[in-house]
Amino acid sequence: MRDLLPTLGMLAGQVVRFARHGLRKLLFVFGIGALLLTALACTRIPFDAHRWLGSAGGECTRPVGRIIVLGGSGMPSGPELLRLHHAAELAKADTTVRITVIHPGDPKVIGAMVDELVLRGIAPSRITPLNEGDNTREQALAFWKHYPRNIPVALVTSPENMYRSVRAFQRANRSEGRVCGSPAWENAMDHDFNYQHQNIGGKTWAPDVSNDPGLRYTFWNYLKLEITCLREFVAIGYYALNDWI
């Protein structure tokens, strides 16, 4: 019994030393990762990765039988409104095609999405809401449960979700040629955003970045794109693991 407490103390010391060693390694790995992400944000790699996710699944080049708008961001929200705007433009270009809006959860949200399409000039008779599917796999299964499997469809979603969405709909339909993507790209402003630092009260001791919009905007936008793309590549890996794509 006298030896029990010293033994436990020795074991506790070993555990603490091991934990400290592991924590140092973990912090080192996170530090390297942060430096790598910072360095990549100074290149166009995040932009190219995002473009790949939006186009690698196969973009639409032929007429389709139905446009599918995939929801999931809430309404109103920037991504949702952008998808609906893009879908409305596609529907106006081909007045024979119908739109299916897929969104889970509160029916009021999908109702607001339908109203937005109507506001943008799409007749209500051309729009079918489908209030099913808590992820892309479920949405694909729900759609093909209600519609013929030989109908060619165009998916409208955010660019970062497009590759996985196209592959998931193809996999759920066991078809490779009837699903294409029409990503809702954002439109960048054609403006240089330079300004005169001192003319607007900029302090002399503050760094003058008035002529460097890349540092003020592009760098931070690419950092956000890195997180977006990393999250999506993890999701693609998970879908592949489950044989959903």
Q: What is the pLDDT of residues 105-127, one digit of tens each?
A: 889 999 999 999 999 999 999 99
Distance, CA of 131 to CA of 140 (rounded, Å): 12
For the domain 58-181, what is the CATH code? 3.40.50.620
Domain boundaries, the chain: 58-181
Q: What pLDDT score was predicted for residue 206? A: 76
Q: What is the pLDDT of residues 19-76, one digit of tens each?
A: 777 777 878 788 888 888 888 888 899 999 999 999 998 888 888 999 999 987 788 8
Distance, CA of 88 to CA of 123 (rounded, Å): 10
Contact yes or no for 160/183 (Cβ under 8 A): no
| Predicted TM-score (pTM) of this structure | 0.83
